[in-house]
Every structure is written in structure tokens, then in C-alpha cells.
Structure 1
Amino acid sequence: MAIALLYNALIFLAAAVLIVPLVKRLGLGEVLGYLVAGVVIGPSALGLVPDADAVLQFSQVGIVFLLFVIGLELKPSRLKLMRKAVFGFGSLQVAITTALLTGLALAAGLSPAAALVVGFSLGLCSTPLVLQLLGERGELSSRHGRYAFALLLFQDLAAIPVLAAIPLLAGDDPLASGWGHMLSEVLIAVGAFAGLIVGGRYLLRPLFRFAAATRSREVFAGTALLVVIGAALLMELAGLSMALGAFIAGVLLADSEYRHSIEADIEPFRGLLLGLFFMAVGMTAQIGLLAERPGLVLGLATALLAAKWLSLVVATRAYRGDWKVALNLGALLSQGGEFGFVLLTAAGAAALLDPALVGLLVLAVSLSMAATPVLVQLHARLIRPLFKAGKPRRDFDRPPQNGPQIIIAGFGRFGQIMGRILQGLKIPYTVLDINAEHVDVVRRYGNEIYFGDASRLDLLEAAGADKARVLVVAVGDIETSMRIVQRVKRRFPHLRLYARARDRYHAQLLMRAEVAYIIRELLPASLELTREVLVGLGIPRDQAQHTVDTFRPHDERALERQLEAFGNKQQQIQTIQQAARELEELFEADEDVATTAPGRPAERR
């Protein structure tokens, strides 16, 4: 058993390492590379891994992790703002696509019930494929990226009742069994859905607080895996989508202080399992059918792509989206999806569809998924340039290779001070800043600065991060700062990190990430101003300076104690109150600390 598992793991890794980089070098993306690798090692080609269905079932855990990470990026407030796009655009597109494909199925001679199931099943898109392509191209936050995500979320929700209704559509006596079964399934699903939201709201943070208190990364990572798999399994047992359960768990944790740590622990599992999923899809494709009936199979796949492209363009325009968004969505979402496999297989098992027809449709869906990366590339090269009007989007700069040994990420008011000192000392440095207008202004003064996102590893490599000694994270946004730190820690562990902390919470996140040196941006200035206020009150300057110097190490020790209580709000409050009492006692015990300021009694308590 162990040898078989190791053998399969070796086959998958070898196929991914040999084939995916080759396909990616051709400009076709990682997804198509994984699909091709799956076809090569699957039963239809070399047959190195014969049980493709078992691999596909297991690899769907990759979709679970993907949706969990997506949920972590969506705060509940942002998800609330998306509700119109989810239920408005989503329902409109599903209705138009289902109607069009159902009509084509009726014209092909299927019964009304079978045609409806086929039309809806083929109308679903591939969530992991689309999100992976959007992520590769950095377009998740673009307008068409938001529309695509809203549509995929609605489709996942809409597929559940259709899956429950298939036995009803196939049954002879719906009043005796179908409706009652469907009603019970819906009640169980609603109960599980509500239970996950309520339980997650009140249990997830205490659970991660307990895990963080152990100060063990393995325990914390295990807790993250427990939450993802537990939420997915709960939804699966209730007849809902595993991915939906993981997505909800991610959204519930999106506002939590543990978000960045959870994402860093989950990311390696997500990437590996998602690649395995695409390979499994390639393995399950019945390439033998393509060889036997190439005209029919290719015709079905082409008709599916064309019909869905047309329905997406019509739905987007009807929802008042512009032509650019409509055509982007048409290229991105015209494939079938993995939920289509599930629905078509269930319809075949219920004798609603002929097994031979199910095999043909599943192969057509697989081919449409394989064609999507190519279509997206062609669309980007041929169609998108036609819509570039006005000021073109500026590309990131490419810093020179073998740059200086100091890289500064962010060159606002904070980073510029350091840059001026380094420049005065004639110490070379490289700067990356995401604000294009700011970069242009700074360049006018003769500074070497490059427009780019410092969280992108390819730009850091181009800036010489593999040979640099120091990276200064001077960006003000907490999320961006932590994203840079986490990626650099994984990819360039030799870099010594110095970071600007916006506040105490940000400082604690950086301390948990083991950043070498952290400075809270307001602390030095506030201490200097406090000293001047004390002098203005009539306290001798040396005495005022000693007071400030006494406070600073005390505050650092208090911050470290608060870090131990990270995530436990009640314990942090107690720690802050205790630190305040200790500071009073410290000042009272120090003979050199000012105690005779105006308005304060001179005697000691």
C-alpha cells in the first residue's frame, strides 16, 4: 500500500515537473499543462495511474482549499456589497445559458426533463480553472474578475437544488417520494448552512486563539487544516458543496487577526492539490471516444464554447456591462465545469440520461476546459488591444539585475527619509513603489525608483533580492506589508527584514512573522513631542529626556507581553492595564523621573 502511494506520488510529481513548465513556456499557462500531464499519465494514454476516478474525488480537496483562501480575501462587508452581482448577474446569466442550451438539447431529441438537466449542467463553469487563470493574470480584483467570481459563487449555490431535484425529475411518483425527499434535503442543507455560520462566528476565533497560545506553528497549521476540512465535510454531509463550506469558513475568518498566518499555512496545500485536481480531470477524459468519433466530440465541444460565449455576452450586456467586460467574460467562462461532471453522472445513475451520452458530454466538457487557457491567451493578444483607449495601463518597471544590496519597498514619507540618508552616504539602494504618479514625481528629483509591486516575487528577483542583504518594508498598508513579509520569508529566507509598523497590532503581526527589526512609525515622533511638552511644563530637559528614555523600554516589554496574549482580547486588556500600573510604579520608584510638573503634587505616594 505504501509503495503504491509513493509510486503514484512519484508519477504525479514527475509529470508536473516535466510537462507543466514546457506548456507554460509556450505561453499557455499552468492549467493546460496540468491537464496535458493528466492525459499523458492517465488510462487513455500511458496508463501509469489507472484509477483516475479515485484521484479526481480526492483531488477535489484542492478546490476546497482554493475557495477557503478566496474567502479569506473577502471580508463580510465586501461580500455584502457583491450581493447584487451574485444574485442579479448570476441568476440572469444562468437563466439565459440554461435556456439556450436546453433549447439545443431539445432540438437534438432529448426529453424535456433530460434537456433541462443537460442545459443546466453544461451551463456551469469551472470555478478552480477560472480563478486560477484570473490569479495567474493578476485580474481577480478587475471588473470582469469580480463579475466572474460573483457568477461562479451563484452557480455553486444554484447547483445544489438541481442536484437534489434529479431523482424527482427521473422518478415515476414524485408525490410519493420525490417532493418529500427534496424537502428533507433542503431542510438539512439550510440547517447545516446556518449551523456553520453561527458556530463559526462564535467558535473559530477562540479555537485559533487557543492554537496561537501554544506558540507551535505545527499546531496552528493543523488547526487551519481542521477548520477547512471540517467545514467542507459538514456541507458535504448535508448535501451541499464542500467548496461552499470552505468558502464560508474563509469569509468568517477574513476579519480575524489570524488571517495572514492562516493563509500562509494553507497556501502550499492549495497549490499542490489544485494542480492534482487539474491532472485528475485530464486523466478522466475518455480520449478513446475522441479517436472513435472525433467529428461528434469536437462538434459538441465547439458548440458548447460558442453557445456559452454568446450567452455570457448577452447576459453581461443585459446587465449593463460594457463590451470589454462582456468579451472578457465570454473568453474566460465559456467552458463547462467540474459540477457538470457531478450533475451529468447523477442524471445517468438515475436513468435520466443514457450512459453513452453522459460519456460524450463529459468529454466535451473536459475539452472545453482544456481549450479555455488557449482562448484566454488568444483573446488577450487579439481582442483586448482593440479596447485600449486613452492612457494605456502602465507596466511595472524591470529593475536592473544584480542591483544594490538594499531594497526599499515603498517610498513614501517614511522611506524617503531613509533614502536621503543612504544617498548622502553614497550607499546604493533599489526602490520599488506601487504608486505610478508618486514614482514619476520622485524621479524628477534624480532618485532611482521603480514602479512595481514589491509583493510580486518576479519583480523582487529582478531587483536582485536573491543577492541583496536587506529588505526594508516601508509600505503603510498592513495587508500589503504582511503579504510582502510572508512571501519574502518563504522565497528569500536569507534577506534580513526591517519593517515599518503602522500601529501596535501591525507590530505584533510583524513580530509573529519574526521580522528582524520593527519600528512603529509614530513612536519616535510622539516620544520626542512628549519630551518637549514636559520641557514646556517647566521640567528640566535632561529630566524630561530621562522620563522618555525610561518609558521606551517599558513599552517594548509591554508589547512583548501583549504578543503572548495575541488574539485574546480580554487577556490583552488585562495586560494593558497591568502595564499602566507598572509604569506608574516605575516612575514613582525612579528619583530622576519628573514628578513636580505643574498641576501634580510634588510628594510621592
Structure 2
Amino acid sequence: MMDPFMQFASIILLVLGVSVITKLFKQPLIIGYILSGVIAGPFFLDLVHESEVLSVFSEMGIAFLLFIVGLHLSPKVISEVGRVSLVAGVGQIAFTSAIGFVIGMLLGFPVMTSIYLAIALTFSSTIIIMKLLSDKDALEKLYGKISIGFLLVQDLVAILILMIVSSMASGTGMDAVFQSIINGALLTLILIPFSIYVLPRLTDHFAKSQEFLFVFTISWGFGLSLLFLYAGFSIEVGALVAGVMLSMSPYSHEISSKLRPLRDFFIMSFFIILGSQMAFGDMSSLIIPAIIFSVFILVGNPFIVMILMGLLGYTKKTGFMAGLTVAQISEFSLILIALGIKSGSLPQEIMSFVTIIGLLTIAGSTYMIIYSDSIFKRISGFLTIFERKNAREKSTTKKKRDYILLGYNRIGFSIIRAFSKISKRFVVVDYNPGVVKELQNEGIEAVYGDVDNSEFLADLDIHKSSVIVSTIPEKETNRLILEVLDRNNARPIVILTARQLEDALELYDAGATYVILPHFLGGEFAAQLIQKAGKNNSKYQKERKREIKILKQRLKIKHRFS
């Protein structure tokens, strides 16, 4: 038998090699972990055989994953999700579960297996979607906000289901299941006052030392996991509740960032074990059903969301982009199936079946999200049926604006100050409803909409304005703005933003009047200040006072630096 250290080290090196190949194909590392498990499993290298270390790490990985998910389930965040996230989230769960159950029955699966499959395949991966949206700078866009909203709704539903299934996995009957739910609810109700009145004081005390806060956080998570384990639940449920209890803390983001490396390390073991447990010998009869379910998730789930978003009055592009975020299954799906197998409700081969669906849908949806803009342009005409004529994102007042600001952020704050000194006939366009509402409360005309939508730009009559400023750094978006102006033979002053020198030169060639390069402008301003002030400290102090005054103005209107 191989030494445990050598066994684990060999697996880690294997994961590294497979992950490098996975990233070359722009896939999430989860796929690399699962494929590493397949290679390390009994069908190939047989490195995972009876690895107690990996099993313990796997359980800890799930606990850390659910603990961090709980940290993001703050009641404040949930209250900001809004009607659309609740309706779209619950509606998608209901329709996907119902259709998934019908598909399972038509494919010949037993009733209990069809129920598990229908529920498991309902959930989408919050972690993968947040990573992909972050890479696209879309977390603050309208569809990004809505997507994260209904993914949080999914997580809440998953919590309830995991509570039920974890009780069933312990071998108890339905009466005991309901009793466990009541016990869990009572335990949570007892913990709520503690988390409101006692926990903040504890975190304030421990936060005086970063190491102390880290140790307290780990102890809190494991402590509540043990408490819920003794109450008849799994450690995963305890970890979720522990995270939710800490979510109201002002240190929740710091805690989450400190725990992510631990989560990533331990959750790797969970997916490696999943891959190693895939029973390829039993899969021949399940390949076609796996493909059918995968197609349903990749195509059917986005259609369900697009229909719901259309009925709620959103544009076809917002519905399409939000729909793509539910085109894969979640880590919760695999955890739910694992608990079903543990309870004896499901046969072992179902884990391999769902894992294959996970590989296909995660890979497919990743490419769909990365290339979503290109895909939308090609099929936009066919998606008109999902959009109402009076879509709320198109409800802009037709009137002449001399100045238009597209995108409010750190740069936009200063642009608004300049506009307000020149003219009152200006408007701010942003994809973040919270920002739009905040500006409107300040008495500034603001509308929310997607600048990537040429129809929206046309409705805004940007070709009739005198000055257009875009603080959006995406080259494709800025090229679209110039194309809309060219189609209307308009020649206003157009100030755009770019990240790279090459993009700036390309935008100049396309007709931009001026291109802002934020990083270079900061250095240029500092250079001019040094050249002007030299060794004269009083001039630096004068500029310092002016800058502090501006920073306080930003804070006064709750301007957040991202």
C-alpha cells in the first residue's frame, strides 16, 4: 500500500497537470478536479483507493463551501433581491423540477430516482456563476444582480431540502424528519438573538487581531456544525447556519476572503472523490439519458428564465443573459445525490450519471457565458418573442439631452460634477438599479438600461446629444456606441474609456474624440503635480485639501469604490 503522504502528493501533482489543461480550454477548475478523480480512480491509476485523508478533506470541503455560501445569505442581501429574483427563482425551480420529473419518468427511472433527479438538476452553481460574471465585470450589471438574486433563492431552497435529506440519510422516518425540521427551526430561532446581540460584540473583540478572528471563525463554524450534528442534522447544515449567523457581521467579507483558500483546497478533495467513484461499467445505458438531461438544462432552463423575465417586463437581452446563468447544475446537486445514496434512496450509479451531466453542463454553460454577447447578436431576432413592447428597460423619455453619461462609477462621479456646472440637460445611464435610484434621490436624471443594446441606445436618442461620455471600458460596447452614431450620421463629441493602449488606438481610429485611460491618467496627473509643485510643500498641501474635500463628497453620496 502506498504511503499516505506519497499518495496525496501524487494526486495533487496530477490535479495540477489536469487543471493546466482545463484552464487552456477556459473551463472551471471543478471540471479539472473531477477529471483528476477519474484518472486517479480504480479504472486508471488507482491512487484514491481507500484514502481516509481525502474522505475527511472532502467532508471539510463541503462544510467550508456551505459556510461561505451562508456568509453571502445575509438577510439584508435577500431583502434587496426584489420581486424579480424571487419570482424568477421560485418559478424556475418549480418548472425545472416538474419538467425534469416528467423526463425522468419517460426515460424509465423509478419514481424516487426521478424526484431526486428533478430536484438536484434544478440548482445552479452560485460559485461558478459568480466567478464567470466577475470575470466579465457583470456582477453589478442588471442581469448580474438579478442572476445572483435568484441563485440566492435557489440556495435558500437547497438549505431546506438538505435539512430534510440529511435527516433521511440518518435512517429516520418521515415523522423524525419533520421533528428534525422543527428542532432545527427552534435551534435557529434560539441562535438568531445570539447572532444579533452577542455575536457582533464577539467579532468586534476578536477582530482586533486578524489571527484571532480567523481562529474564532473556524471555531464558530465547527462548533455549530457539531451542535446541529447532535440535533440530528448533518455537519453541512450546521456549517450553512453558522455562515448565515455571521453574514450580518461587518467582517463577513473579510472572513469569506480568508476562508476561500481553505474552501478551495478542501473542496478539491470532494470533487476528486466524485470523479474516482464514477462507475463507467454501469454507464452504457445511462449515456443517452445523461445527454437528454444535459440538453434540457443547457437549453430548457434558459428558456424558462427568459419566459419569466419577459413576463416581468425585462428586455430579451437581460432575460437571455440571466437565463444562461442557470444552464448548469450545482455543487448542491452532487451533495444532494450523495445524501440520497447515503440514505439508501438512490443506487450508486446515479452519482456517476449526475456527475456526467455536471461535466457536460458546466463545460457547455461556461462557453455560453463567455461568448454570450456574440451568441446574442446571432440569435437576437429569434428572441423578440420573449420581450414585451413596453419593456421597462426601454421606457426612456424622448427628450433632448445635451450631455449623456454612460456608466456611473469612480470616473462618472467627476464627470457628473463637470456636467452640472455646464448644463442641467444631462442624463446618466447605468445598469445598476441601486445606483440609478441613488442618483434620482440626489435630483439627478438617471435611467437604467443596457448600453450593449443598440435598440436602447437608439431609444435614448444619443445621436441628438452634443457630448457623450462612456466610462465603460469594454471595447465592444464603445464600438457599438460609435456604430449607432454612424448609422444616424451623427458627429457629437464622444469621450470613451479603454483599459489597453491598443484598444484606445482602435477607438480613435473608429472615430472617438478622446479616449480615457484611467491608469495612465493617474500617473500623468501625479507627474504634472510634481512638475508644478517641485519641492514646495504648500502646493502639495493645497492639492491634498482639495482631494480630501472631493473624497468626502464621494462618501457623502455613498459612492462605493469597487
Change (3 A) 1:107 1:350: same
The answer to whether the 8 Å contact 1:19/1:37 transfers is yes
> Which of the numbers 181, 184, 187 marks the counterpart of 1:186?
181
* Pair 1:144–1:32, CA change in 2 (3 A): farther
In structure 2, do the counterparts of structure 1 residues 194 and 335 end up closer, same or farther at CA, with 3 Å as the change threshold?
same
1:421 matched residue in structure 2: 529
CA distances 1:364-398 after superposition (whole Å, capped 9, x unpaired) = 34443344323433435433687632368433513
User: 1:25 is aligned with what amino acid?
Assistant: L
Assess, with a 3 A threshold, how the Cα gap between structure 1 residues 340 and 261 changes in structure 2: closer, same or farther.
closer
The question of 1:394 aligning with 2:473 is answered yes
Rate the CA distance shift 1:380–1:13 in 2: closer, same or farther, 3 A.
farther
Distance (Å, rounded) in 2 between the aligned partners of 1:25 and 1:354:
35
Q: Does 1:142 align with 2:141?
A: yes
Q: Does residue 289 of structure 2 align to residue 225 of structure 1? A: no
Task: Report the residue type matching 2:328 in the other structure.
Answer: Q
1:10 counterpart residue number? 9
Kindly provide the amino acid, as one letter, of the partner of residue 499 in structure 2. Answer: D
What are the ranges of 5 or more consecutive residues in structure 2 without an aligned counterpart? 381-451, 458-469, 475-497, 503-517, 536-550
**Structure 1 residues 329 and 289: CA distance shift in structure 2, 3 A:** farther
TM-score with structure 1 length normalisation? 0.57
Give 1:82 shift.
1.8
Q: What's the offset of the Cα at 1:477?
A: 6.2
* TM-score normalized with structure 2 length: 0.61
**Cα distance in structure 2, aligned partners of 1:344 and 1:259:** 30
CA–CA distance in structure 2, aligned partners of residues 52 and 126 of structure 1: 27
SS state at 2:453 partner: coil
The alignment partner of 1:312 has SS state of: helix
1:249 is the counterpart of 2:242: no
Going from structure 1 to structure 2, the CA distance change for 1:37 and 1:370 (only over 3 Å counts) comes to farther
Match of 1:266 in 2: 259
SS in 2 for 1:139: coil
Higher mean C-alpha deviation, range 183-192 or range 263-272? 263-272
Shift of 1:71: 5.8
Residues 151 and 181 of structure 1: is their aligned pair in 2 closer, same or farther, counting only changes over 3 Å? Answer: same
Partner residue in 2 for 1:544? none
Which of 196, 213, 224 pairs up with 2:191?
196
- Which structure 2 residues correspond to residues 261-300 of structure 1 after superposition, within 5 A? 261-290=254-283, 294-300=287-293
SS of the aligned residue for 2:375 comes to helix
Shift, 1:199, TM fit: 1.9
Counterpart-to-counterpart distance in 2, 1:136 and 1:251? 24
CA distance in 1, matches of 2:191, 2:35: 38
Query: Which letter does structure 1 place at the counterpart of 2:94?
Result: A
- Structure 1: which 5+ runs fail to align? 171-176, 401-407, 428-472, 485-605
1:285 & 1:481 partners in 2: Cα distance? Answer: 50
| Partner amino acid, structure 2, of 1:376 | I
Paired AA for residue 372 in structure 2: H
Does the aligned pair in 2 maintain the 1:211–1:219 contact within 8 Å? yes
Aligned pair 1:26/2:25, yes or no? yes
Deviating more after overlay: 49-58 vs 150-159: 49-58
Q: Structure 1 residue 294: deviation in Å?
A: 4.2
The 3-state SS of whatever aligns with 1:335 is coil
Name the SS for the 1:241 alignment partner.
helix
Shift of the 111–220 alpha-carbon distance from structure 1 to 2, 3 Å rule, reads: closer
Correspondence 1:96 to 2:113: no
**Per-residue Cα deviation, 1:258-302 (whole angstroms, up to 9, x for no partner):** 456534533432343344444444444444445676445434433
CA gap 1:372/1:276 in 2 versus in 1, 3 angstroms = farther
8 Å contact kept, 1:289–1:360: no
CA contact (8 A) 2:88 2:305 kept: no
Distance (Å, rounded) in 2 between the aligned partners of 1:426 and 1:281: 64
**SS of the residue 1:50 aligns to:** coil
- The one-letter code of the counterpart of 1:58 is F
2:329 is aligned with 1:336: yes
Query: In 2 relative to 1, CA 79–399 (structure 1 residues): closer, same or farther, beyond 3 Å?
Result: farther
Q: Does the residue aligned with 2:121 lie in a helix, a strand or coil? A: helix
**Contact in 1 for aligned 2:143/2:321 (Cα 8 Å):** yes
Contact 2:19 2:32 in 1 (8 A): yes
Structure 1 SS opposite 2:76: helix
Match of 1:310 in 2: 303
| Counterparts of 1:118 and 1:398, CA distance in 2 | 46
Report if aligned partners of 1:192, 1:234 keep a CA contact under 8 Å in 2.
Answer: no
> Counterpart in 1 of 2:361?
368
Q: Alignment length, in residue pairs?
A: 418
SS at match of 2:45: coil
Give the AA of the match of 1:116. Answer: I
Check conservation: 2:84, 2:309, Cα contact below 8 A: no
Mapped to 2, the partners of 1:106 and 1:235 lie a distance apart of 35
Q: In terms of Rg, which structure is larger?
A: 1
Root-mean-square deviation (CA, aligned residues, Å) is 4.5
Q: Secondary structure at the match of 1:188?
A: helix
Partner Cα distance (1:96, 1:50) in 2: 40
Aligned to 1:124, the other structure's residue is in SS state coil
Deviations 1:537-587 (A, max 9, x none): xxxxxxxxxxxxxxxxxxxxxxxxxxxxxxxxxxxxxxxxxxxxxxxxxxx
